[in-house]
Amino acid sequence: MSAGRDVTRAGLSQLVSRSIDVIDTHQSPSGAYPACPGFSAYSGYSWLRDGAFIAEGMSRNDQADGPTRFHAWSARVVGARAGQVASLVERAGCGEAVSAAEMLPTRFTLDGEDGTDEWWDHQLDGYGAWMWALARHVERHGAEVPGADRAVRVATRYLTAFWDRPCYDWWEEHVEHRHVSTLGAIHAGLRAAISLEALDGALAEAAAEAVEGIAALVAAEGVARAEDTTGDAGRPESTTRGHLTKWLGTDAVDASLLACVHPFGLYAPGHPVAAATVAEVERRLAREGGVHRYLGDTFYGGGRWILLSGFLGLNHARAGRPSEAMRYLEWMAAQANAEGELPEQVSTLLLAPVRRQEWVERWGPVATPLLWSHGMYLMLAGELGVTP
């Protein structure tokens, strides 16, 4: 842990208050959550994926207004692309090739427009993560989100048409693969869409079929040494051994796979695949409380990410290991700077230290504050009963 940071119970609670303040302060008047307001590559942009977890962290901590405004912004953004989605679905249905560059973006300006900067934009997980977070927030607070039903239908049409195609992963890499963490996010989002009762009969049926298809595909090709069967509810079950994999057809792991257990629930925490996945991620990627993205990571030298420690802590807490979960919360808190701001990653125990400087020269110091880091701190703190 970093020297000088207060990780007593009082200090952990204080960082809950500070995290709420950081997120509140930087939320755009439009409702968007900027990824990091001062980081050159992220400034002026909001990701549906980041925002979903930021909103969930706030919502879990009795903050209803900010997440509602974020979900209303997301509904406007997604709903406004109904025509684009209809065209993409029609073209694909006619057998026409649709390129990754033509698909919906993964990030938007704070006003909800497509960005003009080049980016690795074709990522499907954010649309699933947003619907998952929306359903959680509506259930928790009874929030009324303008335009949500229409946007859920648009996102569902998009995901049911394209869920089984390759796209970039959470880290904007490997567009040639189908990533298990992406499939887990879509699985959770489509289940949420069904639960919100915003879908008509045909679309609800398509969503249910996609949920079953994702479960079957992951069981068959996304579990190392898998021998799974799929149950009637579209969730993997039965005789499984091994862990989830970074993408279909590999044995590699990625820390984003933790979300497939909790909170997305592709595999329940007590399932053998879930237990094996959490254990394998921790064995390969966790070091002294921090968690690397994957073993070949070179971004800023391949540091340990604050938000991934949050995911690992959440899974320990949900599996009934609160002391292990608390260890990760304490590590997260220890990485805050003097202003109580959490970075994206820390630059100690790097996987590829010789690669760090090239990123500093390209984009500047590590992104701070990263609002997703604060959102994950709030999620884990809430899970452990650490309140302001």
Q: Answer for the pair 30, 112: CB distance below 8 angstroms, yes or no.
A: yes
| Annotated catalytic residue, options 125, 169, 280, 297 | 169
At residue 205, φ and ψ (nearest 5 deg) are: -65, -40
How many Å from the N-terminal Cα to the C-terminal Cα in the chain? 22
**Alpha-carbon distance 56 to 71, whole Å?**
10
* DSSP-based three-state secondary structure for 205: helix
DSSP structural state of residue 235: -
**Alpha-carbon distance 294 to 149, whole Å?**
36
* DSSP-based three-state secondary structure for 290: strand
**Alpha-carbon distance 16 to 300, whole Å?**
27
Q: Catalytic site residue 344? A: yes
**Alpha-carbon distance 245 to 256, whole Å?**
10
**Alpha-carbon distance 354 to 351, whole Å?**
9
**Which tokens hold the place of 115?**
């960005």
CA angle centred on 366, ends 365 and 370, rounded to 5°: 135
Which amino acid appears at position 251 of this protein?
D
CA angle centred on 103, ends 97 and 109, rounded to 5°: 165
Q: Catalytic site residue 237? A: no
**Which tokens hold the place of 250?**
């590999």
* DSSP-based three-state secondary structure for 6: coil
**Alpha-carbon distance 345 to 52, whole Å?**
19
47 beta partners: 107
Q: What is the DSSP string of 238-294?
A: SS--S-B-SBTT-----GGGHHHHTTT-SS-TTSHHHHHHHHHHHHHHEETTEEES-
**Which tokens hold the place of 257?**
């796979």
Enumerate the active-site residues: 169, 172, 344
